[in-house]
Amino acid sequence: MKLLSRARQRTMHDRLVWQCASLLLAYPDEGLTHRLDTVDALLANLNGTSAALLDQTAATLRALHPMAAATQYVETFDLRRRTTMYLTYWTAGDTRNRGREMLTFATAYRDAGVEPPRGEAPDHLAVVLEFAATVDPESGRRLLAEHRVPIDVLRAALAETNSPYQHTVAAVCQTLPSATDQEARRAQRLAEAGPPAESVGLQPFTLTVPPRRTQGG
């Protein structure tokens, strides 16, 4: 019973972290203040390192002017490939295999009884975190754990630029199994060499990464 209780506590803790992270990693539009208020309410149920990390991001975003927050977000995630939140970009790059890997996420969502979002790609980290927090924590955890290497690459790249979002991604990493030596070496290789490229003569996957954000999008 104690083991079951601890497992439930861990799942609840992780779901709270994932929900906070999903809200903090969303584009800072006119709903930012409301999302930050929700994060503050959720953090009241968390403690320890995870809560401190998430609070650092939340505090920084709350102190920024909305326009400055939006500009910083675009510069961080839309204009730098090394800090993209599209997880399959790091595992498949701009290749036809990426479409197949994105289908894995969409299938997981449908298997859990929900449709993939229409306004965002299914492999976007904030989308995966929302799914893990609110729909299917086990399936969501599996998707996150399977993409631990891209998430580690993202965390390291954000840390290099001293981005306030580094703390949120670090909190997510704390909910996942520790990276093996092999995974750590792979993350280092990815950070140095970049994602896979399409073979000569094949048509690349057509989604632009990072995507161009439309006006008001």
Render 69-138 in DSSP notation, one character per residue.
HHHHHIIIIIS-GGG--BHHHHHH-SSHHHHHHHHHHHHHHHHTT-PPPSSS-TTBHHHHHHHHHHT-HH
Pair of tokens at residue 88: 């399959």
193 class by beta-carbon count within 10 Å (0-12 exposed, 13-18 middle, 19+ buried): exposed
Pick from 188, 175, 187: nearest CA to 53: 175
Angle of the 32-43 helix axis to the 2-24 helix axis, nearest 10? 160
Q: How does residue 124 score in pLDDT terms, banded at 50, 70 and 90? A: very high
Lowest mean pLDDT among 32-36, 52-56, 101-105, 205-209: 205-209
Q: For all residues of the chain together, what is the average pLDDT?
A: 85
Share of the chain above pLDDT 90, in %: 62
Q: How does residue 70 score in pLDDT terms, banded at 50, 70 and 90? A: very high
One-character DSSP codes across 45-71: T--HHHHHHHHHHHHHHHHS-HHHHHH
Q: Is 86 helix (H, G, I), strand (E, B) or coil?
A: strand
- Torsion, Cα 106 133 90 116, to 10 degrees, reads 20
Mean pLDDT value across residues 138-164: 93
Q: How does residue 49 score in pLDDT terms, banded at 50, 70 and 90? A: very high
User: CA 110 → CA 20, 97, 104, 107, 135, distances in Å?
Assistant: 23, 20, 10, 5, 11
Lowest mean pLDDT among 53-62, 85-94, 106-115, 131-140: 85-94
